[in-house]
Amino acid sequence: QLSDQQNMNESPLSWFRGVYLPPALHPLNKTLVKGGKWKDVDSAQEKRRSFLHDFCKKYNSRKKLRTHLVHLVSRIYVEDRHKVLYCEVPKAGCSNWKRVLMVLNGLATSARNISHDDVHYGKHLRKLDSYDLKGIYTRLNTYTKTIFVRDPMERLVSAFRDKFEHPNSYYHPVFGKAIIKKYRHNANEEALKTGSGVKFKEFIQYLLDSHRPVGMDIHWEQVSKLCYPCLINYDFIGKFETLEEDANYFLQLVGAPAELKFPKFKDRHSSDERTSAEVVRQYLKELSEEERQLTYDFYYLDYLMFNYTSP
């Protein structure tokens, strides 16, 4: 443990470098939980927490992770009233989570009335990297930190469907054009001009290419690189597969108003079938056996950390 004085003297860019992992696992404060209906959710939660902690201990026993504090916390949203830190994992309920944080923060009375654009482009919520070093350090050590994850292959297919199978003024011209140009032989002029119509196989070729024509994107980046679960000690690990009950239990833990429940609605493309294991199977059929294996390898750490079964 660094003394507070040492912490203040170090620059945010050097703090957290070369830390031995993982941090200690603290018991969850359950004093605000009312009623006995949360027993199973709580039991699942404790298993996830200890599983991740044991994994990090084993995986990082002889390894130092070198990273910058500011980068480390750049995906974490802050809700000061209820002392919550939420690390955003796209395609794992993040839009509705941001709505909930806005309600907790007093920025809205109901999650249902907040539009998609307001959630993602409204700049209503602060991220942890916008605070000074002391602010970051204090919140990391005293707030309840949560992360919500999803089966990696489901999350990947969900991201592809959302960004490439619907009109999109950013992903088609930026990612679509570059993907079609590099991976589609004899692409026609229309496809090269608009970047629309990317096939799943082409998207996977881009994902697995060490010389990608465009960079990575948070919608398909590994959770291990978005939220650093072996370096930041998340108090609560929710899963998309049990999203509602996990989220509502978490709201109890942090003392949220009794009437606030996690929204059930699908944020966009509400008429589309949800990306399920069966939907994923259909997409994976388009890939060769080698491509499927390499895609799994790409998300290998996420599968291990959060105890997901390999597909």
Mean pLDDT calculated for residue range 156-179: 96
Mean pLDDT calculated for residue range 1-17: 45
- pLDDT value of residue 21: 47
- pLDDT value of residue 109: 76
Domain-embedded: residue 108: yes
Whether the per-residue pLDDT at 49 is higher than 70: the answer is yes
Q: Are 236 and 28 in contact (CB under 8 A)?
A: yes
Query: How far apart are the C-alpha atoms of 83 and 254, rounded to whole Å?
Result: 8
Mean pLDDT calculated for residue range 177-190: 96
- pLDDT value of residue 4: 45
Highest mean pLDDT among 24-28, 83-87, 94-98, 264-268: 83-87
The total of structural domains in the chain comes to: 1
Query: Can you name the residues that pair with 146 across neighbouring β-strands?
Result: 86, 236
Measure CA 44 to chain center.
Answer: 19
- pLDDT value of residue 8: 44
- pLDDT value of residue 272: 79
Q: Are 15 and 65 in contact (CB under 8 A)?
A: no
Query: How far apart are the C-alpha atoms of 120 and 124, rounded to whole Å?
Result: 9
- pLDDT value of residue 15: 46
Domain-embedded: residue 107: yes
pLDDT band at 18 (very low <50, low <70, confident <90, very high): very low
Domain-embedded: residue 228: yes
Contacts for 205 with CB less than 8 Å, ≥ 6 apart: 179, 182, 183, 291
Domain-embedded: residue 18: no
Residue labelled with tokens 């996830």: 48
Whether the per-residue pLDDT at 159 is higher than 90: the answer is yes
Domain-embedded: residue 165: no
Whether the per-residue pLDDT at 58 is higher than 70: the answer is yes
Domain-embedded: residue 270: yes
Per-residue pLDDT tens for 137-155? 999 999 999 999 999 999 9
Domain-embedded: residue 34: yes
Mean pLDDT calculated for residue range 200-205: 98
Q: Are 19 and 72 in contact (CB under 8 A)?
A: no
pLDDT band at 88 (very low <50, low <70, confident <90, very high): very high
Domain-embedded: residue 249: yes
Structural domain that includes position 47: 27-154+218-276+298-306
- pLDDT value of residue 108: 81
Mean pLDDT calculated for residue range 83-102: 94
